[in-house]
Structure 1
Amino acid sequence: MDLNSDLTAWLESLAEELELSDLDLDDDSVHTVLDLARDAAHHVDRPAAPLTTFLVGVAVGRGASLGSSAAKATALAVGEA
């Protein structure tokens, strides 16, 4: 799935507004976060999606890797942790 131009433009604008212009938000990272949100919404509860992605973002901001943090959250959400 390629990101559509509206989503790409939105992410670029938001990154700039949040002074994250140096952030390299590649397709793999976007898909990881979208998959995580889907799993949290379907296996936990819809409001868990944005809150789960927020917490994973905090973990990444504190130095954890996105892949590892998303994997841990997904495992917990689907009951494999």
Structure 2
Amino acid sequence: MSDEADRMQRWIEAARAELELPTDVTIDVAALLDLARISAHGVVRPAAPLTTFLAGYAAGLAGGSDADIARAVDRLAALAAALPDAD
């Protein structure tokens, strides 16, 4: 694991502990970073962190399972990619 990936993993675990999030939920870093990229390029740059927040919020309201997270990420990625000005 690279230093960057190791640091990211440590951050995720620290944030998960701080927020008292369950450890049985998978945090798909690649999917979330891809969603951020798609929204930054398909909408506007500042949309990236807001879009990932919205995905997490929607997933939490839906129950917070891995499937809920994947569904929210997929829906927002498709929405951002479908915008007329999307790359």
TM-score (normalizing by structure 1): 0.81
Matched-pair contact (CA < 8 Å) for 1:56–1:69: yes
Matched-pair contact (CA < 8 Å) for 1:37–1:49: yes
Superposed CA RMSD in Å reads 2.0
Q: What is the percent sequence identity of the aligned residues?
A: 40
TM-score (normalizing by structure 2): 0.76
Q: After the TM superposition, which parts of structure 1 deviate over 6 Å for at least 4 consecutive aligned residues?
A: none
Q: Could you say which residue in structure 2 is the equivalent of 1:34?
A: 33
Q: How many residues align?
A: 77
Task: State the alpha-carbon separation in 2 of the partners of residues 41 and 30 from structure 1.
Answer: 16
Q: Does 1:71 align with 2:70?
A: no
Q: Could you say which residue in structure 1 is the equivalent of 2:58?
A: 59
Q: Where in structure 2 are there 5+ consecutive unaligned residues? A: none
CA displacement 1:18-67 (0-9 Å, x = unmatched):
111535334xx221111101100111111100100111101100126122
Task: State the alpha-carbon separation in 2 of the partners of residues 10 and 47 from structure 1.
Answer: 22
